[in-house]
Structures are given as structure tokens and as C-alpha cells.
Structure 1
Amino acid sequence: MTCPVTGSNPPDGARIVLDPLVRDLAGESAALRAAGPLVEVELPGGVPVWAVTRHAEARALLTDPRLVKDIAHWDAFARGEIPADWPLIGLANPGRSMLTVDGEDHRRLRGLVAQALTPRRVEHLRKRIEELTGELLDRVAEAAGRSEVIDLKAEFAYLLPMYVVGELMGIDEADLPRLKVLFEKFFSTQTPPEEVLATLGELAAMMARTVAAKRAEPGDDLTSALILASEGGDHLTDEEITGTLQLMMAAGHETTISLIVNAVVNLCSHPEQLALVREGRATWDAVVEETLRYSTPTSHVLIRFATEDIPVGDRVIAKGEALITSYAAIGHDEAQHGPDAGDFDVTRDPIRHISFGHGPHVCPGAALSRLEAGIALPALFERFPDLTLAVPAGELRNKPVVTQNDLFELPVRVG
């Protein structure tokens, strides 16, 4: 039995169908959370999986060694029930990288990647992020001179993370517009089946060209550092570097775009919270963390597979079944965040969330995303103190991406 999301508890045994068009993420998340800590859901394409919807259970499952990332452990995939052109196949089986391996293989890959993506390398980007932010705010001002209402996502929130992650990896700037198109297809539930495999192939080819170029002519960038990373004579293979670049590119720009956009929506919708920041009674770091909790950039993360039966409350993830982590539901868990979990409150203390993941697979780009948002947001509101939404927040439209809390556009007036 399936149950479309209505905001109320589904009947016992019902499976909640995740809306591929993401028309009511808040209502869907509330229904998931109300249905229990472990809920049967249906992904776009009719694919059944489990979803963990509450904070404590998610922390436990994200560190449970019986749940692995290797898709070979997914019985439905092994039986051929998941087609190769399933729109979300790139997120379930994205190639060999630290996202898709566990145990010793994961420790090896994560260790080599950590040699390249050091805190020093991330902090070194601070000055460049500040420069890009200033340049893009000039662009916003120019756009506002041409039109009373502008799309802040297109003019600012999208461009900053894409430029930053492109420079970090040493990707040719001329490739960025095409990468934008490809990643939109990569994440979308509406990508036609005939385009799914072509999209994955073109993304892999672009990353492979970047690796080949940096092998021939290394630079001061993450790709060159990944090539040079070594531990006891062990190096990353080209396949591993390509997979890592695609992972970092996808997560590194999409998450930060949504973080900046959602923070702007939250502050404009809660002017009393913005006033607290301007008065020095709350910090911009608190804005970032509360946005990560309240309107997390990543709504559902795909996907882990059970290597044996795993009880969760009165339900069981059977061996060979799949689990997703529903961060949009988890962020409003009252057991973790209190009875006011549904409120946006930058003075919340402490703001403890797991929106960048937890355990061995915690997001390696979290520090960079925080750095970008921590620079972009205060600069934006200082430059445009009268910034307001051009439409009510309830009229903003999510893109058809079940994994990302991502808007089509962000129409604003900058005053």
C-alpha cells in the first residue's frame, strides 16, 4: 500500500511516496517524522527504500558498520529491479570514491583525500572568496539597476559556489556553464531516461579531462594535490580521482547554493532574527548553523545498504534493503531540538545538527561551505540592507530534486 503525503500519519504499513516535484517539502518532512524513526518510502521511479527521520536514530545508523555504501549489497539492484537509466542512479552508484566504499578502503581514500583537502587549503581560499563575493555583489547592483526584481540565486548564490569549487579543483572556467547543465540533469527526478546515462558519461569524461590536464601540467589546486597524494607509496587511481572530483563538485556547489539561498529566505521571512544579528546579539555563524538545521540544504541523502537485519524500534531494515537519511525531517526533531524545533531562532543554544552527515561519511566539504556562507551572507546584507523577498516565502518553488532543498529562483528587491 502506498500513501501520498498529506501531512498526517499514514496508515500502519503504508509507504510514503516522496513527491518527485517537491511541492511541499515541509509537509512531507512532517509526515515522515510523525510516521516514526524508520519509515517505508518510495523514491521517484517506484523504488522502495527505508528512511530514517529522527536525530538519535540517524546518528546510530550513520555509524552502524552493518550499513554500507556498496550498491552490490542492494538486493533490488542485484535482481535487476533498478534500471540503469533510473534518474537517481548517479546518486546511488556514482563510481568509486570515498562515498561508495567502506571500512579499510574508505579509510585509505579518505586519508589520501585529506592530504589534498587540508584546512590550510580551504582557509587559503578565504581571500579569493571575499574577492568573488565583492565582484558578484557589483553584478547584483548592476542587475538591480536594470530591473526592480532580480533573481538573487542566478546573480549571486549560484555563481559564488560554482566559481569557488571550480578554482579549488582547477577546472577550466569555460567548462562551468556546461557543468551547470549536467549537474541539473544529474540531480533532477525529471531527467528523461535516455539522457541519464549520457549525462553520467559526459560528467565522468569532463572530470577525466581535468585529471589528464593536471597530470600533464600540475597546478596549485585540489586535482593536482589528489594526483600527488601518497601514503606508503600508495596513490589514488585516475578512477578514484575522477570519482572524488565528481563527488566534491556535486556536493561542493549544490549544498552551498542552497545554504546561501535558504539563509536569505529565512532572514527575510524573520526580520526580528536579522535584527538580532545586526544588533550583535547573534552571530553570522549562528545564522549558518540554524539554517543548516531549520532548512537543511540536503533533504534526503542516498543511500546505504544493510548487510544483515538491523532492528530500529519496532521495525527492521532487512539484509539487502536500502536506507536513505531524511535530513529535512531530522532537522525539526523535537526530541533533539525541543518543542520549538519548528521555529527559526538564531539564538538557539546549542544548535546541534547533523546536516553535513555523521560518522565516517561526514561531508568533507563542510568547512568550505561554512566559509563561503560565512563570507557571503554578511557582505550581502551589508551591501543591501533593505533586501526583501519579492514574493511571499510560501510562493517560492522547489526544483524537482528529492535530494536537495533547492529553489528554482530567488526573486528579491535589493532596495
Structure 2
Amino acid sequence: MAADPFVLDTTGRDIHGEGALLRARGAMTRVELPGGVVAWSINRIDVLKRLLGDARVSKDPRRHWPVWRQGGIPEDWPLHLWVSVRNMFTAYGDEHRRLRSLVSKAFTPRRIEALRPTVEAITAGLLDDLDAGPPRVDLRAAFAYPLPIEVVCRLIGVPDDIRPGLRRAVDLIFDTAITPAEALANRQDIYRMVSELVALRRRQPADDVTSGLIAACDEQASRLSEEELVDTVILLISAGHETTVNLLDHAITALLAHPDQLRLVLAGERSWSDAVHEVLRWQAPVANLPLRYAVDDIAVNGVLIRRGEAIIASYGAAGRDPDFHGPTADRFDITREDKTHLAFGHGAHFCLGAPLVHLEAEVALPALFARFPDLALAVPADRLRPVRSFISNGHDTLPVVLRAG
């Protein structure tokens, strides 16, 4: 195993090239994050799944990351918000179960299915707008981005006037090349906007998740503190759209760049679900997710992760693990029998919103390709620029031609 930490590219210029280099260093290897913070990157799917389900792995820095407890992380650390929030994303054990239970009622199968008409209506409206516009368009900005944003904003109860600012703030949360000053300013901005949202919904309750969380907080503070309330809304807004944006982005790109695969789906020989799961494996929407911490010493495959050391889940590298998916792991193939992936995590922190992401994708993708049967990439797929992040795996823009001629 290499002695020196692998320095992650903060710009995310080559997520999968970097993933291959990480796997070559072993199932687990030390990486350097912004600010010189060192963590263990878990790069193989079997080892990652094992650790994600291990009770000796925590997401609570206040209890289990000595560097954090001892004040070793500055306020302007670019990844500060990924660690400092107090919600189910950074909770452990009973605290995690308490916080997750307050949110999970909004993501039951019945409630997700009840959102289908909303997703269909938003999709149809976006397609109408595209149909009425120019033949060439940035489909990430005009379709992949606004669909999940609109869905999550309605679900959470975000009014129209707050949305643009929150979108900018969330984009900056995922920007891992952000400067310390920008990171600190952005954290202050998002807390101001979400606090204003909570104050609004406290004055004007509605049938949305934020109002439900406020009721839980006001009725019994022991169930949910004010800090946890605000931080939970931040989590839902940020996590509630980024995965879907990148999934739609990569699904459209992959199918257009592999017309033989697209034909299988359009002919009904393979399902849209096949396509979605292969995209999630091949292009994990979140490439690297910070952070977890070893509660005790953990020995895995002859490597020791010491108590208190940080861990990063490298979903992008694990999704293309050739030890699991064989020599074709780098190939997009919706016919592959085993599409196992960990794009939504595993274990106690498995993403609550995964069913909603699937619903949005399986409504939006067939509707898009049905409306625009001549849809084509406007530039070769290998010329698309990635977003500036080693966390978020998507394209900066997705230029397409909607109609032939």
C-alpha cells in the first residue's frame, strides 16, 4: 500500500481515471482532502459495503473524530458543512434513528407514489417549454436541473423567491474547489436563507415537510431541536436534488452516446429501470462522500483503520470495481446481469430519497425520448466538461440538439 496520501483533484476533472488510480492502490488507501485533511478512501465494492454496514463506523464527528473535537478543522474549511451539520446525515446510533424517524414518514412508498402526478406534470411542462424553444439547448439547465429542484421545493415548502439563492448555495456546497472565504460566506448564506424559510413556515404552516418538522420541534423539543430542524432542511434541499440532477444528466448522455443501448430500451427489450440502475453503477451521481469515522480500530483485508481516523466512501470507484463487475466494469451495458451498485449508500444511512429519485428518472427519461425522438448530443460525449467537484459527478452543461434539421 502506498505510504503517501493520494491528493484528490478538487476540480473533479477525471473522476473515473482517479477512481482507477485509487483502486490500483488497494481496496482502501489514504487520500488528502482540501486543507490537508487525510481520510481513508474505500474503493472496492465489497469492502465499502462491509464498512457502510459496520456499527464501528460513525458519521458523528463530535463523538468520533478527534481532529474535529480538538479544534483541528477551521471554520472556513471548504468541506465544513459536510461535517458540522446536526441532522441524520452526521448522526450515529440512537441519535440517527431518532432524526431519521422524523423524516422517513415523508418518504414512505405511499407518499412517494402519490407524488407521481406532480412529477409527471412538472416533466410535461418542462418538455413543453423545450418544444417551444430553439432546437439546441443545455439540457442539464433546462431539464435535468429544474425537475428535481421543483419536486423537492414543493415537497419541502420552499417559496419561489427563496429558490434561486438556495440553488446557488447548494451548487457551492458541492463545489470542492471553492476557496475557504467562499465556503464560509456560503455557509452563512444558506443558514440565513433556511432560517428565513423556517420562520416563514412557522408563521404560515403548510402541507409540507418543513411545516411537519417545525411541529415536531415546537411540540416537543426533545424530539427535534431548532438547530437540528434547520440542519435537516438544509440536508433535504441539498441531497434532495443533486443525485437526481446527475442521474438524469448521465442517463441522457449515456443513452445518446450508446445508441445500441437506447434502441434496446425504446424497443422494450430492456426496461428503463435497467438503464437507470446501470447508470447508477457506471456513473455514481455522488463520486466520493465525506465523511465517516472509525469508532474502534477496524482491520480489513490486512489494513488497519485506527480509531478516530476519517473515511470517505468512494462510490464512483466502487461502481466500476473490476474485481466485482469483471473486465467490462468500465463499459456501459444495460444488459449486464448484475448491476449492483452503492450509489445510494448501504446500511443505516441508505438514502431515504432513493425511491423518489427512481420515480423522477423513470417518469422523466421515457417522456423526454418520446417527445424528442431525434434527440442528439451537440458535442461528443468526451468533450463534456465535469462539474467542479470530487463529490458531485455530473456535467457542467449538457448541450443537445432536440430536433433533426
The TM-score range, normalised by the shorter chain, is over 0.9
The aligned counterpart of 1:155 is: 142
Corresponding residue number in structure 2 for 1:266: 254
Residue in 2 aligned with 1:368?
A: 356
CA contact (8 A) 1:116 1:226 kept: no
SS in 2 for 1:235: coil
3-state SS of the aligned residue for 1:402? coil
Give the match's secondary structure for 1:305: strand
Match of 2:82 among 60, 85, 91: 91
Partner secondary structure for residue 236 of structure 1: coil
Q: How does 1:397-412 map to 2 (within 5 A)?
A: 397-412=385-400
Q: What is the CA distance between 1:307 and its match in structure 2? A: 2.0
For residues 189 and 106 of structure 1, the distance between their equivalents in structure 2, rounded to whole angstroms, comes to 26
Amino acid across the alignment from 1:107? R
1:31 aligns with 2:21: yes
Deviation at 1:206, TM superposition (A): 1.9
Is the contact made by 1:115 and 1:229 (CA closer than 8 Å) also made in structure 2? no
Partner of 2:312: 324
- Of residues 338, 343, 347, the one that matches 1:355 is 343
**Alpha-carbon separation, structure 1, partners of 2:106 and 2:9:** 38
Which of 148, 153, 165 is the matching residue for 1:178? 165
Q: What's the CA shift for 1:133?
A: 0.6
- Distance apart, 1:229 and its partner CA: 4.8
Aligned to 2:114: 124
Aligned to 1:14: 4
Residue type matched to 2:155 in 1?
A: L
2:30 counterpart SS class: strand
- After TM superposition, the structure 1 = structure 2 runs for residues 42-191 of structure 1, keeping only pairs within 5 Å, are 42-72=32-62, 73-93=64-84, 95-144=85-134, 148-191=135-178
Cα contact 1:294–1:342 (8 A) shared by 2: yes
Q: Which moved more, 1:84-93 or 1:109-118?
A: 109-118
**Cα distance change, pair 81–126 in 1 and its aligned pair in 2 (3 A):** same
**Deviation (angstroms), 1:164:** 0.7
**Aligned AA for 1:64?**
D
Query: When the two structures are aligned, how many residues end up with a matched partner?
Result: 400
How far the C-alpha of 1:238 sits from its partner, in A, is: 2.5
Aligned match for 2:31, one of 41, 46, 68: 41
Residue matched to 2:275: 287
Contact 2:145 2:245 in 1 (8 A): yes
Large movers: runs of 4+ above 4 Å: none
Question: Which residue matches 1:225?
Answer: 212
Q: Contact 1:30 / 1:329 at 8 angstroms: preserved in 2?
A: yes
Distance 1:45 1:197 in 2: 14
Match of 1:339, SS state, is: helix
CA RMSD of aligned residues (A): 1.7
What residue ranges of structure 2 are gaps of 5+ in the alignment? none
User: Structure 1 CA distance, aligned partners of 2:78 and 2:276?
Assistant: 31
- Of 215, 232, 242, 2:202 maps to 215
2:177 alignment partner, SS class: coil
Q: What is the letter of the counterpart of residue 185 of structure 2?
A: A
**Alignment-mate amino acid for residue 153 of structure 1:** R
Q: How does 1:338-353 map to 2 (within 5 A)?
A: 338-353=326-341
Query: In structure 1, what is the equivalent of residue 236 of structure 2?
Result: 248
Select which of 203, 215, 227 maps to 2:190: 203
Write the distance in 2 (CA, Å) between the matches of 1:92 and 1:228.
26
CA shift for structure 1 position 63: 1.4
- CA deviations on 1:302-358 (whole Å, 9 max, x unpaired) are 101112211121221111210000000000112322332221111222322111000
What is the deviation of 1:178? 0.9
- Seen in structure 2, the aligned counterparts of structure 1 residues 92 and 302 have a Cα distance that, compared at 3 Å, is same
Return the alpha-carbon distance in structure 1 between the equivalents of residues 209 and 308 of structure 2: 36
> How far has the Cα of 1:66 moved from its partner?
1.6
TM-score after normalising by structure 1: 0.92
Amino acid corresponding to residue 196 of structure 2 in structure 1: R
Instruction: List gaps (5 residues or longer) in structure 1.
Output: 1-10
SS in structure 2 at match of 1:316: strand
CA shift at 1:17, angstroms?
Answer: 1.2
Opposite residue 90 of structure 1, the aligned amino acid is: L
Q: Identity rate of aligned residues, in percent?
A: 44
Cα 1:82/1:55, change in 2 over 3 Å: same
- Give yes or no for contact 2:282–2:319 (8 Å, CA) kept in 1: yes
Q: Aligned to 1:112, what secondary structure does the other structure show?
A: helix
Length-normalised TM-score, structure 2: 0.94
